[in-house]
Structure 1
Amino acid sequence: MEQEFKYDRPNTVSGIIAKHKELTALRDKYRAEIKKLTVDIDHLDAAIRLFDPNADTYAIKEYVTKHRAEKGSVKRFVLNTLREAGEPMTSRQITELWAADRGLVADEATLNALRKRIGACIKTCKEQGLIEACGQTTDHGANGPYKLWKVRKGGD
């Protein structure tokens, strides 16, 4: 049984709903454009490094962090990824998904920097009781073992 709401001003509510949809679509459009620009900048950086491997293309942006993310987006990504995963994941797996989601063609140094950020997010989520460790990898290669993480029951 659906509850029917009666509004004194139905046009006001429908107008606000329409504006919400409009702004959400606009935000999504700009988010997609920002992602494309980030990919384009990364490709230009790679092209610059082809000619000068020691070039620091980020020196111009003294206070801007390389591959900067919106506040809270890493935490949202980590928690959503762990929720949707069918099994526990490592910080490395989450990092590779993060790089792919952002369209980054990342070298090992960039992946390590991103993994440190993902690891810091995981640590914060663990301290907040949102996720928990559940073992470690056995087939990890030279860089392991990695801890396995999952969303804590009741931690949503």
Structure 2
Amino acid sequence: MTDYMVTGLVKKRGEVAGEIASLHDRINQLVKDLDHIDGTLRIVAPDMPVESIRPKMFRPPSDWSKRGQMSRIVLNILRQAKEPLTSREIAAQLILERGMAMDDKLLRLMTKRCGVALRIQRDKGLAVSTEGNGFHLLWVIVR
């Protein structure tokens, strides 16, 4: 074998072993935390069977975005817009572009997420909001 291959494998093994050690430490801390929670539950609710509490698994929603993806899509929609848009209009366009099934619940959720992304972009100086009709803000990209 060549020296650079051995060096690379040694380096990679060290990284994996370090990650495993880190995860073991994290698991040990979580076990301690769980023991403390169980002890507290036994004090405040002695009749509750603590072992019967089922663990909750974390499942990201299907409409979850990767880091920065929401802002990129929102800014792209604003770049292509010919006139200022509300966060609801941007959210509707975003849902269409991502090929998701449009419903009221998803539209409300995406409108909130677009609003957050737009406010962040406004704070960075990349987008500007103006008052529209009613309480709606109209958004444009800074050119």
Question: What interval of TM-score do these two structures reach, taking the shorter chain for normalisation?
Answer: 0.5 to 0.7
Match of 1:72 among 65, 68, 71: 68
Tell me whether 1:121 sits opposite 2:117 in the alignment. Answer: yes
Letter matched to residue 146 of structure 1: H
Match of residue 141 from structure 2: 151
Matched position secondary structure for 1:132: strand
1:62-85 Cα deviation digits (max 9, x unpaired): 241340112111111111111111
Equivalents in 2 of 1:127, 1:71: separation in Å?
A: 18
Report the secondary structure of 1:98's partner residue: helix
Question: For each residue in 1:101-130, what CA deviation from the matched residue of structure 2 results, as whole angstroms up to 9, or x when unmatched?
Answer: 111122111111111111110010011111
Q: In the aligned structure 2, how far is the partner of 1:101 from the partner of 1:79?
A: 13
Matches within 5 A, 1:104-143: 104-137=100-133
1:61 and 1:125 map into 2 onto residues whose CA distance is 33
| Distance (Å, rounded) in 2 between the aligned partners of 1:81 and 1:98 | 8
Q: Distance in 1 between matches of 2:85 and 2:100?
A: 20
The runs of at least 4 consecutive aligned structure 1 residues that moved more than 4 Å come to: none
Partner residue in 2 for 1:82: 78
Structure number, greater radius of gyration: 2
What RMSD, in angstroms, separates the aligned Cα atoms of the two structures? 1.8
Whole-angstrom CA distance in 2 between matches of 1:104 and 1:61: 24
Unaligned runs of 5+ in 1: 1-59, 138-143
Q: Which has the higher helix share?
A: 2
Identity %: 30
Distance 1:129 1:81 in 2: 17
In 1, Cα distance between the equivalents of 2:106 and 2:65? 14
TM-score (norm 2): 0.56
Letter in 2 for 1:152: V
Deviation at 1:136, TM superposition (A): 0.7
